[in-house]
Amino acid sequence: MQVSHNFMPDSAVFDDDNLVSCAGLVPVMTLAEQTDLPRLLAAKVCITESKIKSGAANPAPKLATLIAGMCAGADSIDDVDVVRSGGMKTLFGGVYAPSTIGTLLREFTFGHARQLESVLRDHLSRLCDRVELLAGGDVRAFVDIDSLLRPVYGHAKQGASYGHTKIAGKQVLRKGLSPLAATISTDLAAPVIAGMRLRAGRAGSGKGAARMVAHAIATARAAGVSGQILVRGDSAYGTRAVVRACRRAGAQFSLVLTKNSAVSAAIAAIPEDAWTPVRYPGAVLDPDTGAWISDAEVAETSYTAFASTAEAVTARLIVRRVKDARHPDALFPVWRYHPFFTDSTEPVADADITHRQHATIETVFADLIDGPLAHMPSGHFGANSAWILCAAIAHNLLRAAGTLAGARHAVARGATLRRTIVNIPARLARPQRRPTLHLPTHWPWADPWLQLWRNIIGYLHLQPA
């Protein structure tokens, strides 16, 4: 690929007021209006006592500007300026400068972040009314809960402290902030974020998990999930409080228990003939024996958790064991055991596969880290709390837009959606006062983009006045 012209030093000029850098924001933010996002922000986010006189004025359009910037790929407050270039201010009204948005974010406290979390939950239910985001929810849905540690640097970040995380499979101590997130997904639909909360880096992974699970289950029901809900989590969430929250809400649980002497005794009591090979995706069938070539085997036993308390729960303890790679030449197999506690009624092998699909929440974390959560942009803890909640709203909005675009975009990563349907250049023209966007010819994703456009812009003209 070669440059086809000989340019002069003064041949590049930023002077076109009609060029649009992110034409895909038109259908995306129209979808936000159709699902009442501006109204929810105006009704629920209220800052009565502000540090700066005009800092908390008009929070709804400022937060909407921030969410639009995140949908276009902004991962810092300054990046939001992308929605003010060229013809963008002609396409959108109520666009605010990054400095104004930063001033608003610094006004947020814990209570204001809870207001914004309420917007996240209500907006998700409205998105599901407008778009079939949770297809298959009439059969079953999954609520996954997990946390991550986002590293920060310097001494000015409020709440930043040292917590444990894994890098290359090894536990390390790292300074950062720890968001806790809950997602909702189904067998047919990609995960959306039901709740998110920022915590200090030293916070335990399970802190606030029971409350988050209860809210996530209620959000799933409000979003139209009528089937069975299964709550999945790792060992940080295999606690009495989380199990109690699941049972109160009528949901099943599939949670890893922390290994102790009682769990180890239950595993040791499983007879050897109870172990059966489990078929994982990608396993190889032995042509001679017809067995699946896999070192993984599963078995189950009955187990009473929290037996020494008044909230003892008896359910299934399903154990997966794999050969320890550290002892490849041992005379007898050396196994590593991975138990989890569940009250689901699936066959043991299916229950194990279903539990392992809890890792789908990691794709959401990867999307956020590859987008708005690449940085924690502010030194103020409240501002960062508001930032991660706006990132969650933007994630759900992009997921809904991808669903309306159809085909592979329904389950595409956030970076793919930004590259193919949001960050598309266009020239704004208004012949006979009729606004028209002229998009690039031979755009590789023109068909799904036009499908998104017709499903959103065409939807307006199908509604009664």
Q: For 14-46, what is each residue's pLDDT tens digit?
A: 888 889 999 999 999 999 999 999 999 999 999
Residue 192 has pLDDT above 70, yes or no: yes
What is the mean pLDDT of the segment spanning 334-353? 90
Residue 165 has pLDDT above 90, yes or no: no
Query: Would you give the end-to-end CA distance of the chain in angstroms?
Result: 52
Provide the pLDDT for residue 302.
94
pLDDT band at 182 (very low <50, low <70, confident <90, very high): very high
User: Can you read off the two tokens belonging to residue 418?
Assistant: 């930004």
Q: Is residue 126 classed as helix, strand or coil in its secondary structure?
A: helix
CB 283 within 8 A of CB 293: yes
| Comparison of pLDDT for 337 and 404, the residue scoring more | 404
pLDDT band at 198 (very low <50, low <70, confident <90, very high): very high
Provide the pLDDT for residue 335.
79
CB atoms within 10 A of CB 21: 17
Provide the pLDDT for residue 463.
59
The one-letter amino acid code at 56 reads A
Report how far Cα 143 is from the mean position of its chain's Cα atoms: 11
What is the mean pLDDT of the segment spanning 418-427? 94
Provide the pLDDT for residue 13.
86
Q: How far apart are CA 137 and CA 133, in angstroms?
A: 9
| Comparison of pLDDT for 258 and 146, the residue scoring more | 146
What is the mean pLDDT of the segment spanning 399-427? 93
pLDDT band at 89 (very low <50, low <70, confident <90, very high): confident
The lowest-confidence range among 272-286, 374-388, 442-456 is 272-286
Taking the domains of the chain in order of start, what are their residue ranges?
Answer: 15-107+379-465
* CA-angle at 145, arms to 106 and 266, nearest 5°: 145
Provide the pLDDT for residue 278.
82
The strands making up 426-429's β-sheet, listed across from edge to edge, are 19-20, 426-429, 436-438
pLDDT band at 415 (very low <50, low <70, confident <90, very high): very high
Give 196's strand partners.
Answer: 181
What is the mean pLDDT of the segment spanning 194-208? 92
Sequence-ordered alpha helix ranges (H) in 98-227: 98-105, 110-130, 209-222
Give 255's strand partners.
Answer: 233, 341
Phi-psi region of 416 (alpha: psi -120 to 50; beta: other; left: phi over 0): alpha
The lowest-confidence range among 50-54, 70-74, 289-293 is 289-293
Q: Is residue 374 classed as helix, strand or coil in its secondary structure?
A: helix
Q: How far apart are CA 364 and CA 194, in angstroms?
A: 12
Most confident among 91-95, 154-158, 230-234 (mean pLDDT): 230-234
Provide the pLDDT for residue 328.
65
Q: Give me the phi and psi of 310, to 5 degrees please.
A: -80, -5
Identify the residue whose tokens are 């929290």: 306
CB 141 within 8 A of CB 134: yes
Provide the pLDDT for residue 360.
93
Q: How far apart are CA 128 and CA 267, in angstroms?
A: 42
Residue 461 has pLDDT above 80, yes or no: no
User: Can you read off the two tokens belonging to residue 206?
Assistant: 């399970």
User: Can you read off the two tokens belonging to residue 455?
Assistant: 């499903």
Residue 329 has pLDDT above 80, yes or no: no
Q: What are the start-end ranges of the E strands in 62-209?
A: 140-147, 150-151, 161-167, 170-185, 192-200
pLDDT band at 332 (very low <50, low <70, confident <90, very high): low
DSSP, res 259:
P
Q: Is residue 81 classed as helix, strand or coil in its secondary structure?
A: helix
Residue 330 has pLDDT above 80, yes or no: no
What is the mean pLDDT of the segment spanning 411-432? 92
pLDDT band at 423 (very low <50, low <70, confident <90, very high): very high
Q: What are the start-end ranges of the E strands in 212-293?
A: 228-233, 252-256, 276-277, 284-285, 292-293
Provide the pLDDT for residue 287.
67
